[in-house]
Amino acid sequence: MLSKTRIAVLVSGGGTNLQALIDAQKRGDIKSGEIVLVIANSSRAYALERAKNAGIPAAVITKKNTGGTQETFEAAMIKALDEAGADLIILAGFLSILTENFTRRYPKRIINIHPALIPSFCGKGYYGLYVHEAALKYGVKVTGATVHYVNEVPDGGEIIAQKAVDVLPGDTPETLQRRVMEQAEWILLPRAAETVSERIMREKANLTGGKND
């Protein structure tokens, strides 16, 4: 009997990507994993409402409420993740930096969605609306989104999936952001969540199988 991958979703804001994951789980498109925890790094994140509405446990963990340093902040997150038995951590618009202390603890167990076709418009300083501003300023006609594993290099981990989205005449960073969300992020992220959950589920089963031999 395979036991589902336990997914924690880390969020900072409105949580539209979280909603896409919740909806996919309800539809059965995510069937190898189960969202067991939402962590927000702001008590005002609307994502917390979305978690509540879906009956998913949620925690607010901020630097401020955990001792004030990056170390205590990450330690509090690790504690919450361990307590929830999380196997897979999904960064779904999570705008805090995570250090190597955190990321090295979860090799190929953290995935992130970036609103551009990596290696374009990625790395330090490229997040949120700034990514779309940069794409428009450069004048690209095609952009998109990328789901990738998280390692110690910002936006530098192995790519899992990408989807292209056309830039249209008259686009603003806001209209482009919206189109990339609708046409790429909300499709790619649930799909990648299922793919990675499936892999982790099998790995867990193999480990258990090994113990029983």
Residues contributing to the site for a copy of itself (CB under 8 A):
117-121, 138-142, 144, 146, 158-164
Contact yes or no for 13/47 (Cβ under 8 A): yes
Residue entry with tokens 């879906």:
54
CB of 121 to a copy of itself, least distance (A): 8
Residue with Cβ nearer a copy of itself (45 or 160): 160
Residue with Cβ nearer a copy of itself (124 or 211): 124
Residue with Cβ nearer a copy of itself (130 or 138): 138
CB of 87 to a copy of itself, least distance (A): 23
Report how far residue 83's alpha carbon sits from residue 211's, in angstroms, rounded to the nearest whole number.
23
CB of 144 to a copy of itself, least distance (A): 6
Q: Helix count (H) and strand count (E) of the chain?
A: 7, 7
Q: Active-site residue 132, yes or no?
A: no
Beta bridge partners of 5: 33
Catalytic residue among 114, 121, 177, 200: 114
From the list 7, 9, 23, 14, the residue with the least C-alpha distance to 186 is 23
CB atoms under 10 Å from CB of 202, counted, come to: 13
CB of 108 to a copy of itself, least distance (A): 13
Residue 203 Cα distances to 5, 196, 200, angstroms: 10, 11, 5
| Strands (DSSP E) found in 116-179 | 142-149, 159-166
Active site (catalytic) residues: 114
